[in-house]
Chain A
């Protein structure tokens, strides 16, 4: 081999060539355009077509957006404003007045306005709590503590209650840890885990309500009379305040009515002038047309032209006709609208003959009293300012309405609390008696009706003795009395003894806030659950494997809406009787379970994509299962799964809109409510665009973060 080479080697390079710059057309913008826009004829055609399509869409949408109306209290007013600026005919305009009017509702649902700050603070803190998780390299790991306590703070801020409730809830984990430490030396890891879970649950279910009630009672008893005095004072001071607000409301309502009248007065001449202006050229045209029609013998090609005269008047029909021109134009329209055929042409001509004179008259009117451009502009400006004023008035009226509602609620609550405090001693004293009576009566109940929960009515009654039913009725009454007294005592203690935020019921939650609560909680909880399910599905342990597979397949195989309806209607059947279980919480659980099944499958894909050598290397180093998963397998598998996981998150977040079907008011549900009101009946684009943009912002941010994370991890591992 080497001998052959010795004879054929004719060339040996002695210097190496240095790097050189590429030619001009092969770099920079020129290269980019050449390669990406005009690289072939097909590419050129596609480029031109795409630009044309984009232009077509933008040119049709832009005027609508540019003619945005913000100062309107109803759809009708929106249309008036568009008409006043003669914008009705073409693209029209976007009526964002609905957003201005209802955006708080779209954002917060029926959450009390005086507590919006709690909701906003919760959102701001969310971002603070997310930072250490999202950007672990830039932020010290000490701040993870913020992320860990955030969920409890969030629940407390949003739902309210005493400040010790979140603390006690967190203490549950402490109880679990304590149980773990105690059980570990005795029973090993598995027993300790069971003990930890049991300890936590025991704390939450048994110890926490006890401590909570006791704290409330202690605090309540220490300041019962003070609180009563405060509330009595409120009972006295609130009614005058409410009356004051009502007076202002009446005044503003009167001003609004007045302003509406003024607005209409300004609007009328503006519309008339605009009609006149558009009528001038049209009248001339119509007059020419009619002249042709009556003077000449009928030319067939003229017929469609006459019919199209009808179309010329259509813009008029949609505007408010002024008194002088309207009847005439209507008549012309009616006449020309008749389908002209050679047979009825004579009739048409006959009926048009008198109109000709009227057209001349109309032209005279139209030319007679033109409003100068300056006056029109001034009138329009005045109209706009009146509209603005009107919108402000309406806003202050809405605010006053909210105040009125809040004070009335406070008054009602004060009435109730004072009543409860006054009867508290009595109620507390009565409780043992009531309980004894109820229990005794229940024990002595005749066997035939002992299992009934209600007194049967109608035909069903005949199956029981009348005396037995009477006994049952008295038992039920006694139990009802007991419950009423018990609830009165409990709520009094809770109300007086609360140190913290006023509670807000879940039924008040709504709007984008609700979507965020469900979406984010679902996202945060479904990821760990999904990872566990994925590991379970990969596990060699038969039971764990099959349970995971079954869970994933069942949850995934049934539509989310079915699970939500299950949460709404069926879940109570599976819970012990008497448990009330917040609907929002139920929805969160269902959404979490649903998303975790998807996450599990995505993560399983990541686990499967990992070369088996990684598992083996981890094993060979002596790492146990959980460590090798946590340190070696999951970091890599999750990295592979990021796009799929974020995709699932985005899907989950958008799926929160499904809660509208179970009676929760997410933004879409509220859109329905808003559209059902008389003011905004018939509006849809603006509302749905707004809601869409809200969702888009969040989903798009998630998508960008996923991209950032992918790039970052890609860089690290290269």
Chain B
């Protein structure tokens, strides 16, 4: 399983990490009711970084990246995305959301629209791109995720892996500067995981800033420049992948790694 992503050479030429801060999370806290789900999160993401967030279920990793595009509201601390601070100002939120792409575990394609319409919808209505141009962009990205021939089908007619690749293409059509992945391969058959990971690797090779919640450790080792381990709503450990896997510092990390790699 872990080897799925590493059967080809990764091209590192464009994976450059700049000094520019893409995301700045400072002492962020979040509660669901009285449950303290995120505790004092501090995280700085530089442009070009590829970060994998892992951790046991319920550790708050999905909630963390959902806070970054305000699908969840944080209650304390600050989140600054691309220099814009997330607040309750709707204009700021929409601006950030159109700059930050997101892929979901269950794809969340719009079943009543064709693949092409799924991809052109946001550019046309949010970016005000002319329809024709939007379709060209969409076809470009569908080409990139290798399913241009499915453009006129409906999502229900596609396999899970194809749907997830469409979801990635849909996000890319907005030309985002940051991509968030929320367990993009967890709902897929093993045969399909690879095609999605290949797409993500390709994205990483082009220098996209990525935050991935995933358990694909092969992907983390091959592509990530930083792995963050979360537990009980806190960042327990973060390190570059080789160190993280070979030389974990905290006991909790060791236990976690032994459980997911040992089977």
B126 CB contacts on chain A under 8 angstroms: 621-623, 627
Among residues of B, the one whose C-beta sits closest to the C-beta of A639 is B112
Contact with A along B118-159 (1 / 0, CB 8 A): 000110011000000000000000000000000000101100
Judge whether B98 is part of the interface by a CB distance below 8 angstroms: yes
User: Count of chain B residues with Cβ under 8 Å from any Cβ of A?
Assistant: 28
Distance in angstroms from A641 CB to nearest chain B CB is 13
The answer to whether B111 and A636 have CB atoms under 8 Å apart is yes
| CB-CB under 8 A for A620 and B112, given A631-B125, A717-B154, A718-B157 | no
Whether B154 lies near A716 (C-beta < 8 A) is: yes
Q: Which residues of A contact B94 (CB under 8 A)?
A: 622, 624
Interface residues contributed by chain A, number (CB under 8 Å): 22
Report the minimum CB–CB distance from A137 to chain B (whole Å).
14
- The residues in A between 683 and 718 inclusive whose CB is less than 8 angstroms from any CB of B are 713, 716-718
| Stretch with Cβ within 8 A of A (4 or more), from B102-110, B203-211, B216-224, B253-261 | B102-110
User: Could you say which of A613, A621, A624 contacts B90, with CB atoms under 8 Å apart?
Assistant: A624
In this assembly, does A619 line the interface, its C-beta being within 8 Å of a C-beta of chain B?
Answer: yes
**Which residues of the partner chain B approach A632 to less than 8 Å between Cβ atoms?**
110, 121
Q: Considering the chains assembled together, what is the distance between the CA atoms of A290 and B53 in angstroms?
A: 110
- Choose from A611, A622, A717 the contact partner of B112 (Cβ within 8 Å): A717
Q: A635 at the A/B interface (Cβ < 8 Å)?
A: yes
In the bound complex, residues from chain B placing their C-beta under 8 Å from that of A167 are none
Quick check: B97 and A620 within 8 Å, CB to CB?
yes
Tell me if A617 and B108 are in contact (CB < 8 A): yes
Q: Known contacts A622-B174, A631-B121: does B109 contact A617 (CB below 8 Å)? A: yes
Q: Is the interface of A mostly helix, strand, loop or mixed?
A: helix
Complex Cα–Cα for A653 and B104 (A): 44
The reply to whether A621 and B71 contact each other, CB–CB distance below 8 Å, is no
Distance in Å: Cβ of B220 to nearest Cβ of chain A: 23
Complex CA distance for A427 and B176, rounded to whole angstroms: 75
A627–chain B nearest beta-carbon distance, Å: 5
Q: Does A614 contact B (CB under 8 A)?
A: yes
Given that A636-B111, A716-B154, A718-B157 are contacting pairs, would A623 and B102 also be in contact in the complex, using a CB cutoff of 8 Å? no
Question: Chain A contacts of B102 at CB under 8 A?
Answer: 620
Of chain B, the residue at the smallest CB distance from A617 is B108
Within A125-143, the residues touching B (CB, 8 Å) are none
Which residues of A have CB within 8 Å of B97?
619-622
Chain A contacts with B in 337-389, Cβ cutoff 8 A: none
Give the Cβ gap from B92 to chain A, nearest Cβ, in Å: 11
**Contact A635 B112, CB 8 Å, known A620-B69, A624-B90:** yes
Identity of the chain B residue whose Cβ is nearest the Cβ of A621 in the assembled complex: B122
Q: Is A616 a contact partner of B71 (Cβ separation < 8 A)?
A: yes
Contact of A718 with B154 in the complex, beta carbons under 8 Å: yes
A616 touches B122 (CB 8 A): no
- Which residues from A are CB-within-8-Å of B174? 621-622
Contacts of A631 in B (CB 8 A): 121, 125
Q: Which residue on chain B has the smallest CB distance to residue A622? A: B98
Chain A min CB distance to B186 (Å) = 14
- B173 shortest CB reach to chain A, Å: 9
Q: Once bound together, how far apart are the Cα atoms of A611 and B112, in whole Å?
A: 13
Complex alpha-carbon distance, A500 and B50, angstroms: 73
Contact with B along A621-649 (1 / 0, CB 8 A): 11110010001100110010000000000
Among B70, B95, B110, contact of A617 (Cβ-Cβ < 8 Å): B110
A613: which of B106, B112, B125 is its contact (CB, 8 Å)? B106
Cβ-defined partner of A616 (8 Å) among B90, B100, B104: B104
The CA of A718 and the CA of B154, in the complex, are separated in Å by: 7
Q: Which of B188-209 contact A (CB under 8 A)?
A: none
Task: Decide if A621 touches B121 in the complex (CB within 8 Å).
Answer: yes
| Chain A positions within 8 Å of B95 at CB level | 622
Whether, in the assembled complex, B61 has its beta carbon less than 8 Å from a beta carbon of chain A, the answer is no
CB pair B71–A614 under 8 Å, yes or no, is no
A639 to B154, CA, bound (A): 16
In the complex with contacts A621-B98, A621-B122, A631-B125, A614-B108 CB distance below 8 A: yes
Judging by beta carbons under 8 Å apart, are B71 and A619 in contact?
yes
Residues of B within 8 A of A617 (CB): 104, 108-110
Chain A nearest CB: distance from B5 CB in Å? 24
In the complex, the answer to whether A616 meets B108 with C-beta atoms within 8 Å is yes
Expressed in whole angstroms, the Cα–Cα distance for A616 and B103 within the complex equals 10
Q: Is the CB of B111 within 8 A of A623?
A: no
B47 in the interface, Cβ–Cβ < 8 Å? no
User: If the complex has contacts A613-B106, A631-B125, are A621 and B170 also in contact, measured as CB distance less than 8 A?
Assistant: yes
Q: What is the chain A residue whose CB lies nearest that of B123? A: A621
Q: Given A617-B108, A617-B110, A619-B97, are A718 and B71 neighbors across the interface (CB < 8 Å)? A: no
Complex Cα spacing A205 to B112, Å: 43
Known contacts A613-B106, A718-B157, A620 near B71 by CB under 8 Å: yes
Chain B, residue nearest A718 (CB): B156
Bound form: Cα–Cα A611–B121 in Å: 19
* Contacting residues, chain B, for A713 (C-beta < 8 A): 112
CB distance from A715 to the nearest CB of B (A): 9
> Are A614 and B122 interface neighbours, CB within 8 A?
no
Contact code string B157-183 (vs A, CB < 8 Å = 1, else 0): 100000000000011001000000000
Q: Which of B98, B110, B125, B170 contacts A614 (CB 8 A)?
A: B110
Name B114's closest neighbour in chain A (CB-CB): A716
Complex alpha-carbon distance, A623 and B97, angstroms: 9
Residues in B neighbouring A636, C-beta threshold 8 A: 110-112
Residue in chain B with minimal CB distance to A633: B110
Closest chain A residue, CB of each to CB of B72: A616
A600-620 residues at the B interface, CB under 8 angstroms: 611, 613-614, 616-620
- Residue in A617, A636, A639 whose Cβ sees the most chain B Cβ within 10 Å: A617
B246 CB to nearest A CB, Å: 29
A1 to chain B, nearest CB (A): 14
Complex Cα spacing A636 to B170, Å = 19
With most chain A CB atoms within 10 A of its CB, the pick from B100, B108, B170 is: B108
Minimum CB–CB distance from B188 to chain A (whole Å) comes to: 16
Digitize B52-81: 1 where CB-to-A-CB distance is under 8 Å, 0 elsewhere.
Answer: 000000000000000001110000000000
Cα of A613 to Cα of B182 in the assembled complex, Å: 12
B171 to chain A, nearest CB (A): 8
Q: Is the CB of A627 within 8 A of B125?
A: yes
- Considering the chains assembled together, what is the distance between the CA atoms of A620 and B173 in angstroms? 13
Residue of A nearest to B167 (CB): A617
Among A622, A627, A713, A716, chain B packs the most CB atoms within 10 A around the CB of A622
Report the minimal beta-carbon distance from B247 to chain A, rounded to whole angstroms. 33
Q: How far is the CA of A616 from the CA of B108 in the complex (A)?
A: 8
CA distance A632 to B113 in the complex (A): 9
A639 to chain B, nearest CB (A): 7
> Cβ of B122: which chain A residues have Cβ within 8 Å of it?
621-623
A74-116 CB contact bits vs B (8 Å, 1 = yes)? 0000000000000000000000000000000000000000000
Least distance between A609 CB and chain B CB atoms (Å)? 13
Interface residues in B15-63 (C-beta closer than 8 Å to A) = none
24 contacts between A and B (CB under 8 A): A613-B104, A614-B108, A614-B110, A618-B110, A619-B69, A619-B70, A620-B97, A620-B100, A620-B101, A620-B102, A620-B104, A621-B97, A621-B121, A621-B126, A621-B170, A621-B171, A622-B98, A622-B122, A623-B126, A631-B121, A631-B125, A632-B110, A717-B156, A718-B154
Q: Give residues in B with beta carbon < 8 Å to A.
A: 69-71, 90, 94-95, 97-98, 100-102, 104, 106, 108-112, 121-122, 125-126, 154, 156-157, 170-171, 174
Known: A622-B174, A632-B121, A717-B112. 7 other contacts (CB 8 A): A616-B104, A622-B97, A623-B122, A624-B94, A635-B112, A636-B111, A639-B112
Q: Which residues of A line the B interface, CB within 8 A?
A: 611, 613-614, 616-624, 627, 631-632, 635-636, 639, 713, 716-718
Lowest 4 A-B CB distances belong to which pairs? A622-B98, A617-B108, A613-B108, A621-B122
